[in-house]
């Protein structure tokens, strides 16, 4: 499952960020996926479908990085233009229930 540690390993950060700030971006990204009908995989789902779980993590990290990089911009659609995310959403929609 997407984690703060995973996000920190994925992102190339251009400034000083607290863990709380980074967690906020990650939570927002996971919220975007949930609103797109892509639930976070439960631990058992992640074990049963590790490649799909990795795709979920990648999408969450890509969106969170996008939010972080564009903080303070006005009028920007923060997730629609993230490379590859819409394709991942189509692949994962309905795949996970998020429960055990």
Alpha carbon distance 37, 16 (integer Å):
32
Per-residue pLDDT tens over the stretch 35-64: 999 999 999 999 999 999 999 999 999 999
The answer on pLDDT for 78 being more than 60 is no
**Alpha helix locations (H) across 37-97?**
43-48, 50-69, 85-92
CB 40 within 8 A of CB 30: yes
Q: Is the pTM of the predicted complex or chain greater than 0.75?
A: yes
């Amino acid at each position: 499952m997407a984690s703060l540690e995973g996000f920190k390993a994925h992102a190339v950060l251009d400034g000083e960020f607290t863990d709380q700030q980074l967690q906020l971006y990650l939570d927002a990204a996971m919220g975007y996926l949930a609103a797109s009908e892509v639930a976070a995989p439960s631990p058992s789902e992640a074990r049963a479908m590790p490649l799909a779980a990795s795709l979920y993590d990648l999408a969450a990290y890509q969106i969170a990085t996008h939010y972080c990089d564009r903080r303070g911009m006005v009028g920007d659609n923060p997730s629609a233009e993230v490379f590859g995310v819409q394709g991942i959403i189509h692949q994962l929609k309905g795949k996970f229930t998020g429960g055990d």
